[in-house]
Amino acid sequence: MLTPNHLFSGLWVPLVTPFREGKVDHPALHRLVKKLGRDGVAGFVPCGSTGEAAALDEAEQLAVLATVLDASGGLPVAMGVSGYHLPQMLDWVRLLGQQPVTGLLVPAPLYIRPSQTGLRHWFEAIATASPVPLIVYDIPYRTGSRIEVDTLLALANHPNIHAVKDCGGDAHKTQKLIADGRLRVLAGEDAQMFSTVALGGAGAISAAAHVNTAAWVQVLQRLQAGDLPTAQRMWHALAPVIEALFNEPNPALIKAVLAHQGQMTPELRPPMMAATPEGAAAMLQLLAASAAASQPRAAGAGEVSRR
């Protein structure tokens, strides 16, 4: 059986939270999780930044978690948590640890920008209080705090800190963490998944993998099998779509695509806004062109017969 540490590998999806007329659309969320599971993802992260967790109250977050757990089919679930009031965070992680979750995805405290010593204290206190392992979420452009590589290496000594979601944008730090080997390194910047896994990273937590999910899974499988040419070819086809999905604030365009597919409405909760009509149309046009380009040509199409 895999240890919790080794469960933090492969392709995880930080789930969008579907809304319908301002309320969480639990049937749509259930269907989404089931579909992603069939497409081969390794795990789910509800209530991250892609899930608009900041716009959900605690009761809504618990209800979202319950729906995801029910639909997960036994695949691991790591709950997103965030805040800046440490005693409240400790109470929250203890409560979440009573649920059958595999881990918690925890960023630096928002807004207050503590020192590196303060960051160590924050993560170590939460890890000590949590009944389940932590994934450190290194995302300085959202929190305002950069977690230095020496801080992450120190956190790796804690027995309940098992992985890092790497959105730090520092290739040197990524390589040093992978070489150290104590933390499972999961790419959090979608466009950096290929390089992270090729260097020996464990996988990715990717919002863009809501779209073309099976192809994402296949790229990871080809990389892990050492089939670099096939993985490269597939990744180059995915790259323009990945870039375009973030042309508007996430998850607006992801929800626009999923809405076009009939999976949910395109709603976001204010102050987040649904995708603009122009942005959604451009995204769908790119997806259609990408799908057409990936189809094999019919025999003889566009060619003069040689018979």
Radius of gyration of the chain (CA): 20
Residue from 97, 287, 293, 115 nearest 210 by CA: 287
Q: Could you give the angle at which helices 277-294 and 252-260 cross, rounded to 10 degrees?
A: 60
Q: Is 35 a catalytic residue?
A: no
Contact by Cβ (8 Å): 41, 66: no
Q: Residue holding tokens 């009939």?
A: 262
> Active-site residue among 23, 35, 111, 165?
165
Give the whole-angstrom CA distance, residue 69 versus residue 71.
5
Residue from 19, 11, 4 nearest 188 by CA: 11
Give the whole-angstrom CA distance, residue 99 versus residue 40.
24
Contact by Cβ (8 Å): 10, 38: no
> Active-site residue among 137, 141, 173, 255?
137
Q: Is 165 a catalytic residue?
A: yes
Apex 89 CA angle, 86 and 90, nearest 5: 90
Catalytic amino acids?
Answer: 137, 165
